[in-house]
Amino acid sequence: MNKLFARSTALAGLAALALCGCAKKDDGTITMITESGFAPYEYLDGGNIVGVDVDICEAVAAKLGKKLVVQDAKFDAVIPSVISGKADLAAAGITVTEDRKQSVDFSIPYVKSGIVIISAKDAPYKTADEVKGKKIGVQSGTTSDTFCVDVLKQEPERFDNPPTAVAALKSGKIDCVIADIDPAKNCVKGDDSVFISSDFVGEPEEFAIAIRKGQPELLATINAVIGEMLESGAVEAAKARHDARYAELRGAEEEAAE
Ligand code: GLN
């Protein structure tokens, strides 16, 4: 290679890195971005973000020989953060959708999910038809949000996460909440005033980890880790462990509030 060519290639490489904002130095860490109000997949325990997604990303980091750094953000910012290179792994109970596939690559799925209606005990809504025209709370930027806009043809009330939406339902500000089944279960557990009042509304969903496009090696590593964790039952076990831990934390919170 002649010198001039080598130099211009190097410069072009640098310019490309600067342009895509992904010139991240390898400092031995790998960054996961999430939204911490989505138990059992992510929640706060003593100031730390923990959950099924964190366990999966810890295993990915271990396989890569790196230390995992976990960052919290609003759900709408999670996918943009991996596109811009601010984070390496987006793991936030993210549903694989055709739309999102245009901008990120998804791992193999690790959980099957779907969305349900949470109602107040005294005013239960059983179907999507029954909630049409009502004040529906959702987590902003989620598949529940899209369901309201695209299927019910209405704007929902948008919240940061399912627990804050359920708090608004309990205080009578909204009529119901639409959210993913597992976090929905955790939001209503041990609370007599709200419950899951419908079967799945909308399409079946699957959660996967999202990364910036064009990283086949990282994707293969993530897929290998998820494959192993599904086969050994580690994902199921993590789900049970985090459901139990979250219930324990909520119980302690209620006791302190009494
Ligand atoms: N699974 C839903 C989605 O991807 C919600 C995820 C979340 O709120 N963390 O839109």
Higher-scoring residue by pLDDT: 21, 192: 192
pLDDT of res. 251:
86
Higher-scoring residue by pLDDT: 63, 252: 63
Instruction: Give dist(CA 113, CA 180) in Å, integer.
Output: 7
With a Cβ cut-off of 6 Å, ligand 1 is lined by 35, 38, 75, 92-95, 139, 142-143, 180
Going by alpha carbons, the residue nearest to atom 7 of ligand 1 is: 93
Q: What's the chain's length in residues?
A: 258
DSSP 171-227: TTSSSEEEEEHHHHHHHHTT-TTEEE-SS-EEEEEEE--EE-SS-HHHHHHHHHHHH
Same domain, 50 and 90: yes
In a domain, 1, yes or no: no
The confidence band for 154, taking pLDDT boundaries of 50, 70 and 90, is very high
User: In the block, which residue shows the tokens 């934390």?
Assistant: 249
Average pLDDT of every residue of the chain: 92
In a domain, 19, yes or no: yes
The whole domain housing 217 covers 8-111+205-257
In a domain, 25, yes or no: yes
In a domain, 251, yes or no: yes
Listed residues 145, 169, 196: the one ending a domain: 196
Listed residues 196, 227, 248: the one ending a domain: 196
Q: Which atom of ligand 1 is nearest to the CA of 143?
A: 10
The confidence band for 10, taking pLDDT boundaries of 50, 70 and 90, is very low
The confidence band for 163, taking pLDDT boundaries of 50, 70 and 90, is very high
In a domain, 224, yes or no: yes
In a domain, 3, yes or no: no
Same domain, 86 and 209: yes
**CATH number of 34's domain:** 3.40.190.10
Same domain, 105 and 127: no
Number of H-type helices and E-type strands within the chain? 10, 13
Q: Which atom of ligand 1 is nearest to the CA of 161?
A: 8
Cα(85) to ligand 1 centroid in Å equals: 21
Cβ atoms of 36 and 70 within 8 Å: the answer is no
Q: Let me know the angle formed at the C-alpha of 195 by 205 and 246, rounded to the nearest 5 degrees.
A: 75
Query: For a pLDDT cut of 70, what percent of the chain falls above it?
Result: 91
Going by alpha carbons, the residue nearest to atom 3 of ligand 1 is: 142
Identity of the residue numbered 54: V
Same domain, 61 and 182: no
Same domain, 215 and 106: yes
Whether 136 has a pLDDT exceeding 50, the answer reads yes
Same domain, 104 and 211: yes
In a domain, 192, yes or no: yes
Task: Give the Cβ contact number of residue 208 at 10 Å.
Answer: 23
Q: Which atom of ligand 1 is nearest to the CA of 97?
A: 4
The confidence band for 1, taking pLDDT boundaries of 50, 70 and 90, is very low
Same domain, 119 and 161: yes
Query: Which stretches of 46-155 are DSSP H helices?
Result: 52-64, 75-84, 98-101, 128-131, 143-146
- What is the number of structural domains in the chain? 2
Listed residues 151, 170, 196: the one ending a domain: 196
pLDDT tens per residue, range 183-229: 999 999 999 999 999 999 999 999 999 999 999 999 999 999 999 99
Q: Which atom of ligand 1 is nearest to the CA of 142?
A: 10
Same domain, 152 and 165: yes
Same domain, 132 and 82: no
Same domain, 59 and 101: yes
Cβ atoms of 196 and 126 within 8 Å: the answer is no
In a domain, 72, yes or no: yes
- Beta partners for residue 196, in sequence order: 118
Residue 122 gets which letter from DSSP? T
Cα(182) to ligand 1 centroid in Å equals: 11
Same domain, 190 and 226: no
Same domain, 61 and 127: no
